[in-house]
Amino acid sequence: METKRDFLKKLSLLTVGGVVAGSASTVAASNTSNPASAAKKKIGLQIYSLGKELTDDVPGGMKKIAQMGYSTIELAGYGNRKMGKYEVGDYRKICDDAGLKITSSHVNPTERKYTKENAAGIADFWKRTVEDHLKFGVITLVQPGMPQMETLDDVKMVCEVFNTAGEISKAAGIKWGYHNHNNEFKQRISSETEKPLAPKPGDFFRPKGEIVYDLMLKGTNPDLVFFEMDVYWTVMGEQDPLEYFEKYPKRFPVLHIKDRLVLGESGMMNFENIFNKAYANGLNEYYVEIEKTKEGMTQFEGVKGCIDYLLKSKFVK
C-alpha cells in the first residue's frame, strides 16, 4: 500500500508520463537567472499571502509588491461592497498608483449549504459582486470556499449555482471560477451512500464513490465555470496536478502556485513539470500564494523569496 510519503516522493520525481525528471544538475541549470526573460515575466500575487502586514499599510504595501517584480494581484477581503476600509474606486487607485493591475478576486457568498430556496439570493449576491468588480477591472472572479456537499443531489445543486454565477459573470465580461483546497479530493460521494465515509487518520480505507472535485468538474459547464487549481492543496489531497491537467486540459486556465512555505524550498513540488504542462494547456494567469513562512521570516520576505524563485526559473515564462 502506497503511503503519503511515497506518493509525495513519486510526485516530485515523475512527469505525467512516468519519466524520471532531470538530475540535480539539470534542475539547478533550469533555475539559472536569465535577466532578459525575467523582465518580461508577468507574475501575480494573491494578497491573502500578506495578511495584516498589508492591511496595516495598503498604499505602502502595494508599492513593495510592485518593487519586488509582481505585476498583477488577486484580491482577498472583499465584503460589504468594500475592500476593508476602502471603497472600491479608492482601492483600485491605490493599486494603479503602485503600478499593479487587479486581475482577479476571491469572494465567497455567506451561504455554505446551497438549496433551491437560497439559490436566487446567492445569484443576487454574485450580481452585486460582479457590479463592484467591474470597477476593480478584474478579468476573473473566484470562489475559494467549498460548499457543503453530502449527497449527489447536493453536488448537483452546487453545480447549478456555480453555472448561474458563471452566467452572471460572463454577461459582464468576467470569467468565474472555483479554487480548491484539499477536502474536495478527500471526500467521495456515491449513489449508494447518503453521506460520505471519511477515512480515519492513519487508515488507508477509501469510501466508495467519485471524488467530489471530479463531480464538480463534470457537473459544471466549461463555458461558464473554470477551475483555479491550487497545486499545493491538490498534492495535499494526495492527487497529482499533472493527471488533472491531462484529463481536463481546458479547465485550468488559472493556477495558484504554492509550496509548503517559500516556493521551491520543500523539494516536494515539481514546479517545472507543472508549469510546462499548464503552458501546453493554455495557461492564462497564475498567482503566488503562501500560507506561512519560516520562523523569523515576515510574510513580505516570504513573498519576495517566491518571486525570486520564479524569476530565476527558466521554465517560467
The residue ranges of every structural domain in the chain are: 4-9+38-312
Distance, C-alpha 277 to centroid of its chain: 16
Structure-block grid coordinates of residue 112:
455554505
- Above 50 in pLDDT, residue 29? no
- Averaged pLDDT for residues 158-178: 98
CA distances to 52, 206, 304 from 62, rounded to whole Å, are: 13, 45, 13
Nearest to 273 by CA among 24, 20, 4: 20
Sort 202 into a burial class: Cβ within 10 Å, 0-12 / 13-18 / 19+: exposed
pLDDT at 208: 74
Classify strands 188-189 and 78-79 as parallel, antiparallel or unpaired: unpaired
Confidence of residue 191 (pLDDT cuts 50, 70, 90): confident
- Above 60 in pLDDT, residue 36? no
pLDDT at 40: 82
Picking from 26-30, 88-92, 135-139, 172-176, which range would have the lowest pLDDT averaged per residue? 26-30
Confidence of residue 224 (pLDDT cuts 50, 70, 90): very high
- Average model confidence (pLDDT) for the chain? 89
- Above 50 in pLDDT, residue 210? yes
pLDDT at 172: 98
**Looking at domain 4-9+38-312, does it have CATH number 3.20.20.150?**
yes
Q: Write down the pTM of the prediction.
A: 0.87
pLDDT at 257: 98
- Averaged pLDDT for residues 105-122: 98
- Above 70 in pLDDT, residue 17? no
- Above 70 in pLDDT, residue 244? yes
Higher-confidence residue of 5 and 187: namely 187
pLDDT at 26: 32
Condensed to tens digits (0 to 9), the pLDDT of residues 269-300 reads: 999 999 999 999 999 999 999 999 999 999 99
- Averaged pLDDT for residues 127-142: 98
